[in-house]
Amino acid sequence: MGTMLLLCPFFMVLAQIPVNGFYPEKNTLTVAPSFSYKSYDQFYQGSTLSEGNPAGLGEISSSIVSLYGQYAILDWLSSTVTLPYIQVESKDGILDPVQEVAEVDGVQDLGVFMKARVYEKKFQNASQVTIGGATGVTLPVGDYEGAGVLSLGNQATTVNGSAIVQYSLPINIFSEFQLGYSLRNSNDFDIPNAMLYSAKIGFYNEFLYLHAKLDIQDSMSGFDIGTPEFGDAGGAAVLPETEVDYTNLSFDFYVPVYKNTFGVSASYGTTLNGRNYSKESGLAFGLVYTAK
């Protein structure tokens, strides 16, 4: 079951905590490189969906190469490390108004997380409920600009925490809910903290794993793009200080291809709704190696 948490689509680069309600056996090591591509040509300016983006850069695309690693310290305790390399560009070659370039690339933020199972109960009908918690920090390790439309990130140190509840049926169908909080700190910007929610339903057996998932971010404060307050504060130069909310839907699957040691994963994601956020969609593919 440890390989199940490999499915970290490109939306994870934003804020969500890359853990789930499965707990691998002690000493299990999982390594998963992945590639994802997403693009958008619509943007939620405030809560209003508009064509293009506020800076008039046309269609913007992102390519992400990410490294994911997990090690099970104990049967109920595991650690996770993530590190993405991102390339963002204006497809029309229009310059970012802050950085004055049409393309940026580099290493983004290093993420280190711990996850623990704190309660587990099996019922007479063979169903099971599991409750756990996770905490972690992401640190900007790349020398990227935090402002601008084509920024790789917001140059913030983020401390995350979440509670995880999973309910599994004996027919291998499961549901899962996460409730989390993200505390952001930056030397350059007043970045809003945010509540994080996710809900998932999935199925697994020895040949296949798949799930559908909703990821939601609700920022606690911030500017709306296009308002006088946003313009007075600096416009595109203070984009990290906007109120960024979103609801993303993703579909993920994993297939083992050799003795549960090697496998492949894939995902599709799209934005359903947002605030000061791009309406984007894209695909991700990954390779998975697991050793005990």
- In three-state secondary structure terms, 102 is coil
Q: Which pLDDT does position 9 carry in this prediction?
A: 46
* H helix intervals, the chain: 228-233
pLDDT of residue 12: 44
Residue 173 has what pLDDT?
Answer: 96
CA distances, 188 to each of 73, 122, 129 (Å): 37, 49, 43
In sequence order, the 6+-apart residues with CB closer than 8 A to the CB of 180 are: 16, 17, 134, 160, 161, 162, 163, 195, 196, 197, 198
Identity of residue 227? T
- CA–CA separation, 105 vs 15, rounded Å? 19
pLDDT of residue 16: 67
Q: Which residues of the chain have pLDDT under 50?
A: 1-14
- The two beta strands, 48-51 and 42-45, are antiparallel
In contact, 22 and 16? CB cutoff 8 Å: no
Task: Kindly provide the residue ranges of all beta strands, DSSP E only, lying in 46-92, ordered along the sequence.
Answer: 48-51, 60-74, 77-90
Q: Are 194 and 161 in contact (CB under 8 A)?
A: no
- Over residues 22-79, the pLDDT tens digits come to 999 999 999 999 999 999 999 999 999 988 877 788 899 999 999 999 999 999 999 9
What is the model's pLDDT at position 1? Answer: 47
Strand partners, 182: 160, 194
**In the structure, how many helices (H) and strands (E) does the chain have?**
1, 16
Contact 236, 276 (CB under 8 A): no
Residue 161's pLDDT is 95
Judge whether 177 and 226 are in contact, CB under 8 Å. no
Q: How much is the pTM?
A: 0.91
pLDDT at 76: 97
Torsion of CA 74, 3, 158, 95, to 10 degrees: 160
Assign 3-class secondary structure to 213-226: EEEEEEECCCECCC
Radius of gyration of the chain (CA): 19
Q: Which of 128, 130, 109 is closest to 119 using CA atoms?
A: 130
